[in-house]
Structure 1
Amino acid sequence: MAALTSALAAPASRPERWWAPGEGRVFPAELDYENETGTLRTMLVGGPMKTKGHPFFAPIGPNGRACVTCHQPADSMSLSAQTAQERWTATNGRDPLFAAGDGSNCPTLPQATRASHSLLLDHGLIRIQRSWPPKDLTGKAITPDFTIETVRDPWGCNTGAKYGPAAASPNVSVYRRPRPISNLKYLLAVGFAYDPKQGMPLPLDPESGRPMSGNLMADGRAGTLNAQMRDAASTHLEFLKNMSARDMARIVYFESRLFSAQIRDRRGGALDAGGAEGGPDKLARSQPGNLGSQGPAPVWSEFAAWEKPDPSLTPEQSAFRQSVARGARSFREKMFLISDSAGINSPIGFGNPVRNSCVFCHNMTQMGNDVAPGQVDLGTTTQPFADPAPHLPLFRITCRRDPHPHYGRVIYTSDPGYALTTGRCADVGKITLQSMRGLAARAPYFSNGSAKDLRAVVDYYDRRYRIGYTEQEKQDLVNLMSAL
Structure 2
Amino acid sequence: MTRRQGRALRSGLAPLLLAAGALCGALAASASAGAEVADERWWAPGEQRVWPEVLEYPNAGGVLRTLLVDGPLDTAGHPFFVPLGTNGRACISCHQPADAMSLSVETVQERWRVTGGRDPIFAAIDGSNCPNLLQGEAASHSMLLNHGVFRIERPWPVTQFNGQPVTPDFEIEVVRDPHGCNSGAEYGPENGRISVYRRPRPVANMKYLIAAGFAYDPKQGLTLPRDPDDGSYLAGNLMSDNRTVNLRLQMQDAARSHMQLMGELTPEQIARIRDFELRIFTAQQAGPGGVPLDSLAAMGGPATLRDSQPGALGSIGVPVFSEFTSWESIPPAEAARLSPAELEWRRSVARGARLFRERTFLISDSAGINSPIGFGNPVRNTCVFCHNMTRMGNDVAPGQVDLGTTTLPFADPMPDFPLFRITCKGAPHPHYGRVILTHDPGFALTTGRCADVGKITLQSLRGLSARAPYFANGSARTLREVIDYYDRRYNIGYTEQERQDLINLMGAL
Query: Which residue in 1 is equivalent to 2:373?
Result: 348
Give 1:276's match in structure 2, choosing from 298, 313, 322: 298
Q: Which residue of structure 2 aligns with residue 106 of structure 1?
A: 130
Deviation at 1:308, TM superposition (A): 2.0
Instruction: Give 1:372's aligned amino acid.
Output: A
* Secondary structure of 1:103's aligned partner: coil
**2:456 is equivalent to residue 452 of structure 1:** no
Q: After the TM superposition, which residues 237-256 of structure 1 pair with which residues of structure 2 at under 5 Å, given as runs?
A: 237-256=259-278
SS of alignment partner, residue 255 of structure 2: helix
> Under a length normalisation based on structure 1, what TM-score does the superposition of the two structures give?
0.97
2:207 corresponds in structure 1 to 185
Alpha-carbon shift at residue 5 of structure 1 (Å): 12
Q: Does 1:24 align with 2:48?
A: yes
- 2:209 corresponds to 1:172: no
| AA at the equivalent of 2:267 | A
Q: Which moved more, 1:210-219 or 1:265-274?
A: 265-274
What is the CA–CA distance in structure 2 between the aligned matches of 1:7 and 1:315, rounded to whole Å?
36
Query: In structure 2, what is the equivalent of residue 285 of structure 1?
Result: 307
Q: Is the 8 A contact 2:87 2:120 kept in 1?
A: yes
2:107 and 2:100 map into 1 onto residues whose CA distance is 12
2:173 pairs, out of 128, 138, 149, with 149
Give the secondary-structure state (helix, strand or coil) at the position aligned to 1:319. helix
Query: Which residue does the alignment assign to 1:336?
Result: 361
What are the superposed Cα offsets for residues 350-383 of structure 1, whole Å, 9 maximum, x if unpaired? 0000000000000011100111010000000000
What is the CA-CA distance between 1:8 and the residue it aligns to? 7.6
Structure-1 residue corresponding to 2:284: 262
Which of 46, 49, 56 does residue 70 from structure 2 map onto?
A: 46
Q: Among 482, 491, 495, which residue is 1:466 paired with? A: 491
* 2:392 paired residue number: 367
Q: Deviations over 1:327-360 (max 9, x none)?
A: 0000011000000000000011200000000000
Which of 430-439 and 198-207 deviates more?
198-207
Number of equivalent positions: 478
Maintained 8 Å contact 1:361/1:370:
yes
1:123–1:6 Cα change, 3 Å: closer
Question: Matches of 1:185 and 1:353 in 2, distance apart?
Answer: 33
Cα distance in 1 for residues equivalent to 2:7 and 2:402: 48
Pair 1:60 & 2:81 matched:
no
Distance 1:102 1:12, change over 3 A: farther
Q: What is the SS of the residue equivalent to 1:101?
A: coil
SS at the partner of 2:493? coil
1: CA distance between counterparts of 2:268 and 2:444?
33
Q: Counterparts of 1:151 and 1:454 in 2: how far apart (Å)? A: 30
Structure 2 stretches lacking a partner, 5+ long? 15-36
Question: What does 1:196-235 correspond to in 2, within 5 Å?
Answer: 196-235=218-257
Match of 2:324 in 1: 303
Separation in 2 of the partners of 1:210 and 1:75? 31
Task: Name the CA distance, whole Å, in 2 between partners of 1:96 and 1:185.
Answer: 29
Moved more, 13-22 or 68-77: 13-22
Paired letter, 1:146: F
CA distance in 2, matches of 1:474, 1:177: 25
Task: Give the Cα–Cα distance (whole angstroms) in 2 for the partners of residues 299 and 184 of structure 1.
Answer: 18
The answer (yes or no) to whether the contact 1:40–1:264 under 8 Å persists in 2 is yes
Encode CA deviations 1:206-261: one digit per residue, 9 max, x unaligned. Answer: 22222211000000001111010010011000001101000010000000000000
The code of the aligned residue for 1:299 comes to: V
Amino acid at match of 2:382: S
Q: Distance in 1 between matches of 2:85 and 2:294?
A: 40
* CA RMSD, 1 decimal: 1.6
- Displacement of 1:267 in angstroms is 4.2
Query: 1:290–1:298: 8 Å Cα contact kept in structure 2?
Result: no
Alignment match of 2:339 (pick from 306, 314, 317):
314
Structure 1 residues 10 and 476: alpha-carbon distance in aligned structure 2, compared to 1, 3 A threshold: closer
> 2:454 is matched with which residue: 412, 429, 433?
429
Superposed displacement of residue 136, structure 1: 2.3
Is the 2:328–2:351 contact (alpha carbons within 8 Å) kept by the matching residues of 1?
yes
Deviation at 1:11, TM superposition (A): 3.1
Task: Give 1 or 2: higher helix fraction.
Answer: 2
Say which SS state the counterpart of residue 140 (structure 1) adopts.
coil
- Comparing 391-400 with 309-318, which one deviates more in the overlay? 309-318
- Mapped partners of 1:385, 1:333: distance in 2: 24
1:60 and 1:300 map into 2 onto residues whose CA distance is 39
One-letter identity of the residue aligned with 1:11: S
Does the 8 Å CA contact 2:84/2:255 hold for their aligned counterparts?
A: no
Q: What percent identity do the matched residue pairs reach?
A: 65
Q: Distance in 2 between the 1:288 and 1:7 partners? A: 34
Deviation at 1:460, TM superposition (A): 0.2
CA distance in 2, matches of 1:404, 1:447: 22
Cα shift readout 1:84-120 (whole Å, capped 9, x = no counterpart): 0000000000011100000000001100000000010
| Aligned-pair CA distance for 1:66 | 0.3
One-letter amino acid of the structure 1 residue matched with residue 131 of structure 2: P
SS at match of 1:150: strand
Instruction: Determine helix, strand or coil for the equivalent of 1:11.
Output: helix
Residue 76 of structure 1 pairs with residue 100 of structure 2 = yes
User: C-alpha separation between the residues in 2 aligned to 1:266 and 1:313?
Assistant: 14
Shift of 1:292: 4.8
Residue number in structure 1 paired with 2:440: 415
Deviation for aligned residue 1:10: 8.4
How far did 1:290 drift? 4.5
1:53-90 deviations in whole A, cap 9, x for unaligned? Answer: 00000012110000000000000000001100000000
Which one is further off, 14-23 or 247-256? 14-23
Contact kept, 8 Å, 1:462 with 1:468, in 2: the verdict is yes
- Read off the aligned partner of 2:352 and give its amino acid letter: G
Confirm or deny: 8 A CA contact 2:314 2:391 kept in the other structure: no
The one-character-per-residue Cα deviations of 1:397-447 (angstroms, maximum 9, x if unpaired) are: 000000000000000000000000000000000000010000000000000
Measured in 2, the distance between the counterparts of 1:313 and 1:5 equals 37
Deviation at 1:311, TM superposition (A): 1.9
What's the counterpart of residue 11 of structure 1?
11
For 1:292 and 1:339, the matched residues in 2 are separated by 23
Gaps of 5+ in 1: none
> What is the deviation of 1:180?
0.1
